[in-house]
C-alpha cells in the first residue's frame, strides 16, 4: 500500500482554499454570541421567587435563543435588587423579578426607584399567603388557631421584616381582634420551615410551593389560607374570609426590565416569557403549587396590577401603623 504524505504548507493552502470556496472571497464572518440576560432576584435559594424565576428561565433561554443567568441581590426587601437594576443600561439584557415585597419596600421608602423606572413584561404567579404550622400542634385546626390568639400571642416566622409576610400576620390579627403577633424574621424560607418543625416558632407565613414538600410529608399543615377562595391542592384548609376575618393577600411575582428599553426589545422579552410560561413545564409547576395558568398575564395587565399593588400596599401599611 502506498502512503502519501502531505506537507504542512499543502494542508494549510488546501484548508484556506476550501474556506474561500465555501464562503466566497470575502471575510469569513463568525456569529457573535449575545451576552447572557441577567435574571435579577432578591430571594434566597428555594423560596417562591427563586423557584418561579428558575422555572421561567427553563424555557425562556431556548425561546429567546440567549443564555439567562440568575443574579441574586439581597437586601431591603427587594430594594437592593431594584437599585442594582437601575445601575444597568436600559438595553433589555436583564430582567427583575418584581414582587409584593418590592411594593412594600417602595411604600416604606427603602428605595428611590419608582414604577416609572420599570418596564413591565409579564406576571408569573399570583400565590396566596398561608399560615403554616407544625402538624403536631393543636393550632393546625383553624378555629383553635384563632381562639388561641384571643388570649395569647403566637410567634410568626417571616422572611425579613416590613414585607408581605409580617403585613399578612399583622393584618390578620388586627382585623380579627386578636393578640399582636411576635414577628421572628429569617433570611429565607428554609429556616422558617426548620424552626417550625423543631417547634421553635408557632406559625410560618409561606406560599404553597415553599412548603409543599413538607406538607406532603405530613410535617407541616396549612391552618388558614389568605385568599378569597380555597386552594384546590389544599381544599380542606379554610380561608380567613370564610372564618370572618376579611384578609386576602398574595405574593405576586412578575418580571420587569429597566425603563428606556426599546419597544421592540421589550416586546421580544414579553413574547419570549409568555411562550416559556405557556410550556407544560411551567404549567405543571403552577399545578404543583395549587395555581393555574391564569397566573400568567402579559405586560399591560401586569403593569396595571403593579400600580394597584403599590397603592393597596401603601394604604395597608398606613392602616397598620408602619408609615404615617
pLDDT confidence of residue 25? 43
Shared-domain flag, residues 136 and 236? yes
In angstroms, rounded to a whole number, what is the distance separating the alpha carbons of residues 20 and 12? 13
Q: Which of 184, 217, 243 is at the close of a domain?
A: 243
CB neighbours of residue 169 within 10 Å: 25
Shared-domain flag, residues 238 and 186? yes
pLDDT confidence of residue 50? 93
CB neighbours of residue 252 within 10 Å: 23
Query: Is 10 inside a domain boundary?
Result: no
Shared-domain flag, residues 117 and 136? no
Query: Is 19 inside a domain boundary?
Result: no
Shared-domain flag, residues 193 and 236? yes
| 8 A C-beta contact, residue 203 and residue 156 | yes
Number of domains in the chain: 2
Shared-domain flag, residues 215 and 259? no
- Could you tell me the CATH number of the domain that includes residue 207? 3.40.190.10
Q: Which of 243, 264, 290 is at the close of a domain?
A: 243
**Residue 115 DSSP one-character state:** G
Query: Is 23 inside a domain boundary?
Result: no
Q: Which of 221, 243, 265 is at the close of a domain?
A: 243
- Could you tell me the CATH number of the domain that includes residue 268? 3.40.190.150
Shared-domain flag, residues 133 and 215? yes
Query: Is 115 inside a domain boundary?
Result: yes
Shared-domain flag, residues 239 and 159? yes
Q: Name the residue among 104, 122, 62 with its Cα closest to residue 257.
A: 122
pLDDT confidence of residue 31? 52
pLDDT confidence of residue 177? 96
Shared-domain flag, residues 205 and 155? yes
Query: Is 151 inside a domain boundary?
Result: yes
pLDDT confidence of residue 91? 97
Q: Name the residue among 196, 145, 134 with its Cα closest to residue 173.
A: 145
114: CB partners within 8 A, 6+ apart: 106
Q: Name the residue among 80, 71, 82 with its Cα closest to residue 35.
A: 71
Q: What one-character-per-residue DSSP string does 117-167 give?
A: GEEEEEEEEEEEEEEEEETTSGGGSHHHHHHHTTTS--EEEEESSSSHHHH
Query: Is 135 inside a domain boundary?
Result: yes
pLDDT confidence of residue 32? 67
CB neighbours of residue 54 within 10 Å: 16
Q: Name the residue among 319, 99, 105, 139 with its Cα closest to residue 222.
A: 139
Mark the ranges of the chain whose per-residue pLDDT is less than 50.
1-26, 28-30
Shared-domain flag, residues 271 and 219? no
CA-atom Rg of the chain in angstroms: 25
Shared-domain flag, residues 238 and 142? yes
Query: Is 3 inside a domain boundary?
Result: no
Helix (H) or strand (E) holding 297: strand 297-298
Shared-domain flag, residues 76 and 62? yes
Query: Is 31 inside a domain boundary?
Result: no
Ramachandran angles phi, psi of 17, nearest 5°: -60, -40
Query: Which residue segment(s) compose the domain that 154 sits in?
Result: 128-243
Shared-domain flag, residues 78 and 180? no
Amino acid at each position: 500500500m502506498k502512503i502519501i504524505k502531505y506537507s504542512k504548507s499543502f494542508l494549510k493552502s488546501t484548508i484556506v482554499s476550501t474556506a474561500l470556496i465555501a464562503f466566497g472571497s470575502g471575510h469569513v464572518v463568525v456569529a457573535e454570541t449575545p451576552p447572557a440576560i441577567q435574571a435579577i432576584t432578591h430571594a434566597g435559594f428555594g423560596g417562591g421567587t427563586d423557584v418561579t424565576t428558575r422555572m421561567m428561565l427553563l424555557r425562556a433561554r431556548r425561546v429567546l435563543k440567549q443564555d439567562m443567568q440568575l443574579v441574586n441581590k439581597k437586601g431591603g426587601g427587594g430594594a437592593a435588587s431594584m437599585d442594582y437594576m437601575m445601575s444597568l443600561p436600559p438595553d433589555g439584557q436583564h430582567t427583575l423579578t418584581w414582587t409584593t415585597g418590592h411594593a412594600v419596600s417602595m411604600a416604606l421608602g427603602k428605595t428611590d426607584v419608582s414604577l416609572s423606572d420599570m418596564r413591565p413584561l409579564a406576571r408569573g404567579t399570583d400565590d396566596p399567603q398561608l399560615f403554616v404550622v407544625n402538624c403536631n400542634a393543636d393550632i393546625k385546626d383553624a378555629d383553635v388557631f384563632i381562639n388561641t390568639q384571643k388570649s395569647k400571642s403566637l410567634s410568626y416566622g417571616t422572611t425579613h421584616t416590613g414585607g408581605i409576610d409580617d403585613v399578612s400576620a399583622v393584618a390578620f390579627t388586627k382585623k380579627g381582634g386578636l393578640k399582636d403577633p411576635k414577628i421572628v424574621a429569617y433570611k429565607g424560607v428554609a429556616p422558617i420551615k426548620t424552626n417550625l418543625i423543631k417547634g421553635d416558632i408557632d406559625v410560618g407565613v409561606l406560599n404553597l410551593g415553599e412548603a409543599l414538600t413538607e406538607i406532603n410529608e405530613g410535617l407541616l399543615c396549612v391552618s388558614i389560607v389568605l385568599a378569597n377562595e380555597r386552594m384546590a391542592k389544599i381544599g380542606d384548609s379554610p380561608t380567613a374570609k370564610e372564618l370572618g376575618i376579611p384578609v386576602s393577600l398574595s405574593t405576586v411575582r412578575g418580571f420587569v426590565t429597566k425603563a428606556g428599553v426599546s419597544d421592540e426589545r421589550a416586546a421580544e422579552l414579553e413574547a419570549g416569557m409568555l411562550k416559556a410560561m405557556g410550556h407544560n413545564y411551567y404549567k405543571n409547576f403552577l399545578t404543583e403549587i395549587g395555581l393555574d395558568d391564569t397566573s400568567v398575564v402579559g405586560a399591560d395587565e401586569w403593569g396595571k396590577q403593579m400600580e394597584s399593588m403599590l397603592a393597596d400596599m401603601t394604604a395597608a401599611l398606613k392602616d397598620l401603623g408602619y408609615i404615617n
